[in-house]
Structure 1
Amino acid sequence: MKSAVTTFANQKVLVLGLGMSGVNAARLLNRLGALVTVNDKQKFDDNKAAQSLLADGIKVITGSHPVELLDEHFALMVKNPGIPYSNPMVQRALELKLPIITEPELAFEVSDANWIAITGSNGKTTTTTLIGLMLNEGGKHAYDAGNIGIPISQVTQTAGPADTIVAELSSFQLAGTTTLHPHIAVLTNIYEAHLDWHGSRANYVAAKMKITANQTAQDDFIMNWDLPEMHELAKQSHATIVPFSRQGAAGARATLTAGWLCFDGEQIVPAADLQIPGTHNIENALAAIAAAKLSGVDNAAIARVLRRFTGVKHRIQYVTTIAGRKFYNDSKATNVEASSVALNAFTQPIVLLAGGLDRHLPMDDLVPLFKNKVRSIVTFGQTAPLIEATAKQAGVPVQTTKDVTTAVPLAFAASEPGDVVLLSPAAASWDQFPNFEVRGDAFITAVKQLEGEQA
């Protein structure tokens, strides 16, 4: 962290919403001498984070978001990324022309580390993890942070000028950035996602593109050149464009060529050596290779990482094999596009576990994948009727059950040796779980119990 940050000293700052990012933002601001007020809608008696901050001497207001709080003339609002701009508190702040940022922006403003920032509809966490592993394997000192689950405002207090922060950034986080300026930015892909929050696809894309908004020609912007939209979006950036391509797109620097993952024509590792399944993971690996090479990591270090990396938890994560069936946890697949990627990752017949929060989004795109890839489906949650209808349209047998835990033995019974049993819900978890991680852990627990019963 910069040694003498005075920007926030004696400034009244409102941290709106807690969670890990809000707690760490509040603590960082307090350390920097700001006059911090935290406002969270969860009641104080049930709010351990608020209790902890109060013990640190930080002003805490809980139980609701009182708009009149903004009459206290704050200089800045640090907003939880999940709170939409339609929130009354945020709307009032906008009316008052109060600057509103998210926690990554705060972290960047006080950081003196190098930054590599990664965003995209899918593949962010895997790409972020790979880049961090490659940099550390290559003798650099890198910290993974951001949407990957580690608050950047926590990491930035440790990371110094010789270190690199590898930051996974969601569209929600990027929407609240103004000065963010990574020296390397990565855009893995863009699909339809979070339109209920952003209001339109144009707003969603604009939020993603803030990752490169402050870059210059001395910076690098790594983009997926297999997607035609990227060619147009690249024109909005002042950075040096570094394309990657799995499909042989002209001009790409990180490529899949004759079965090898390459950079600037140099062979780095055979695609067959990757431990993570699916063509989408080839794309993630190519994006990571580009970032690592631009950071000065040698080919041998990159190859070692790719040969031993078995995946990120909850993202097509191999769990175990039971009686010839391989079980995979892809709880992070909270939309149709992510589940489509998972289904396309396997050549074996699949027994699919799917279901979750109903956002009233169509699932028609899953029909051909169900028809060609899936042996049977077990569904649960609010979207169960929609998935059941989609399965019947594809002519695939389907069972409905209570939740992911009860789905596991049903899926095993519907499978055959050589099959993949895959949790890839195609829906958010919030109808039954606080987040996709808890849902994935419930799946893993149920699989391990099944394994014990079958032993």
Structure 2
Amino acid sequence: MKKAMVFGAGVSGLGGKKLLEKIGYEVILVDDKCAISSGEALNFLDEIEIFIKSPGVPYNDLVLAAKEKKIKVIDEIELCYEYMLKYRNDIKIIAVTGTNGKTTTTTKITELLQYCGYKARYAGNIGVSLGEILANGEELDYVVLETSSFQLENVIEFKPFISMVINLTPDHLARYKDEKEYYDTKFNICKNQNKEDYFIYNVDCPEIIKRRDMIPATLISITKEADKNCDYWVKNGILYNKEGAVLECEKLSLKGQHNLENVLFIVAAAKLCGITNKQLQGFLYHTKPLEHRMEIVLDYGKIRFVNDSKATNIDSSKFAIEAYNGCILICGGYDKGLEWTSLIDLINNHVSEVYFIGDIADELEKRLKKTDFDKDKIHMLHDVKSTLLDIKSRFDKDNKNVVLFSPATSSFDQFKSFEERGRVFKEMVREIFGR
């Protein structure tokens, strides 16, 4: 029997394992916490034909040894694409990447397709394994795939029908040597496309414009500004394409400039799938915002608690901090190697008091104390529960305030994911303030 190795027993790895077993492989699962160790797995490499590396797994000795032995090292999305070429070439892939807005765009494109009668599922970095969906044999017209830079590192043949890079800002610099390497990796999403495929790109993002020559697909351009010659644009509160008005922005249920950018991508993708203006309006005027993104949790008297756990980088937190000017901010978490100056500036300009939590708390406190921010309004409680208990003891519920939980970094120091982090925040808010 053919043998494969899957490194990483998370959602992606287990989905890849299930798909490999469906097509006849014996699979060796490697995970230093819950399966055979990466050190022990070195002894099995000579038996292996294909090696699946989960996105979060580092390039350690096992991965490097597999590459040295010329074993095919790929990620789950590449495995899935090769399977689809052979067995499921009726499914079209819409692939979404970027620094911010991926999950909203991926989710809402999927929901829109379903609203219009298509069989569609989302998968990828959104917490759903494409491998498992394919292994289960679901009948589908579209898969909308959220892809992180980690998932795009080992692309060989992967080629979507539609791809997009929503925006690019610094992130994951603990993984990449610099911003350029991170940005360039994102563009693996389109490297195998041709003129029969489509790439939707954001002309308002300079880093995307710099890489326009890297895109072999037919280009579809979007902008939030009216004075640029694009395929989709906004003028006087109306979203247009070259055929005329598409929808009224004021009626969109997804509010804010960041969501307007997402909507432009959603509309452009929808039009390529044959969706009408009437269908777009029917969906986008009424669809609900995502959990963990500027989500109102509870009103405690005049104090409002907002869960923005999806904000895993500074630029994502920027939208929420500016929207809730004068808020009490809770932020911090895993140290991703980012430059924190812009976050410190945001706190100085838009925050009344701040609570720092997580691994990066000490560094953020040190930086903020070097500015003119009131030292008495900088708090170090390090975890969510202690922070919320302190807020309850210090603030009168009859004084109007917003407590914004917008971490500006990843959750991996204290939580498995931003979803778990957001759920814990909401549970604790309700436990402490909901009585």
* C-alpha distance in structure 1 between counterparts of 2:229 and 2:51, whole Å: 43
* C-alpha distance in structure 2 between counterparts of 1:322 and 1:356, whole Å: 25
Q: Alpha-carbon deviation of 1:222?
A: 0.7
Q: Are 2:172 and 2:338, in contact at CA under 8 Å, matched by a contact in 1?
A: no
Range 153-162 or range 91-100, more displaced: 153-162
Q: Alpha-carbon deviation of 1:408?
A: 2.5
* C-alpha distance in structure 2 between counterparts of 1:141 and 1:323, whole Å: 44
Matches within 5 A, 1:355-394: 355-392=332-369, 393=371
Matches within 5 A, 1:65-214: 65-66=39-40, 68-85=42-59, 87-111=60-84, 112=88, 113-157=91-135, 163-214=141-192
Residue 218 of structure 2 corresponds to residue 218 of structure 1: no
Letter in 2 for 1:97: K
**Other structure's SS at 2:200 match:** strand
Q: 1:432 is matched with which residue?
A: 414
Q: 1:400 is matched with which residue?
A: 380
**Other structure's SS at 1:176 match:** coil
Q: Alpha-carbon deviation of 1:265?
A: 5.3
Q: 1:337 is matched with which residue?
A: 315
* C-alpha distance in structure 1 between counterparts of 2:286 and 2:399, whole Å: 26
Letter in 2 for 1:105: E
Gap regions ≥5 residues in structure 1:
1-9, 51-61
Q: Alpha-carbon deviation of 1:319?
A: 2.1
* C-alpha distance in structure 1 between counterparts of 2:137 and 2:164, whole Å: 21
Q: Are 1:143 and 1:166, in contact at CA under 8 Å, matched by a contact in 2?
A: yes
Letter in 2 for 1:370: I
Q: 1:262 is matched with which residue?
A: 240
Range 222-231 or range 378-387, more displaced: 378-387
Residue 408 of structure 2 corresponds to residue 421 of structure 1: no
Residue 426 of structure 2 corresponds to residue 444 of structure 1: yes
Change (3 A) 1:370 1:93: same
**Other structure's SS at 1:66 match:** helix
* C-alpha distance in structure 2 between counterparts of 1:394 and 1:135, whole Å: 50
Change (3 A) 1:158 1:425: same
Residue 271 of structure 2 corresponds to residue 296 of structure 1: no
Q: Alpha-carbon deviation of 1:288?
A: 1.0
Q: Are 2:19 and 2:134, in contact at CA under 8 Å, matched by a contact in 1?
A: no
Q: Alpha-carbon deviation of 1:339?
A: 1.6
Change (3 A) 1:157 1:64: closer
Q: Alpha-carbon deviation of 1:255?
A: 1.8
Q: Are 1:319 and 1:327, in contact at CA under 8 Å, matched by a contact in 2?
A: yes
Report how many residues are paired. 425
Q: Are 1:41 and 1:63, in contact at CA under 8 Å, matched by a contact in 2?
A: yes
Q: Are 1:118 and 1:128, in contact at CA under 8 Å, matched by a contact in 2?
A: yes
* C-alpha distance in structure 1 between counterparts of 2:395 and 2:261, whole Å: 32
Change (3 A) 1:73 1:200: farther
Range 426-435 or range 182-191, more displaced: 426-435
Q: Alpha-carbon deviation of 1:409?
A: 4.3
* C-alpha distance in structure 1 between counterparts of 2:6 and 2:226, whole Å: 46
* C-alpha distance in structure 1 between counterparts of 2:272 and 2:118, whole Å: 12
Q: Are 1:314 and 1:331, in contact at CA under 8 Å, matched by a contact in 2?
A: yes
Letter in 2 for 1:186: M
RMSD (CA atoms): 2.2
Range 335-344 or range 125-134, more displaced: 335-344
Gap regions ≥5 residues in structure 2:
none
Change (3 A) 1:216 1:418: farther
Q: Are 1:120 and 1:190, in contact at CA under 8 Å, matched by a contact in 2?
A: yes
Q: 1:33 is matched with which residue?
A: 24
* C-alpha distance in structure 1 between counterparts of 2:31 and 2:270, whole Å: 39
Normalising to structure 1: TM-score of the pair? 0.87
Normalising to structure 2: TM-score of the pair? 0.91
Aligned-residue sequence identity (percent) comes to: 32
Letter in 1 for 2:316: A
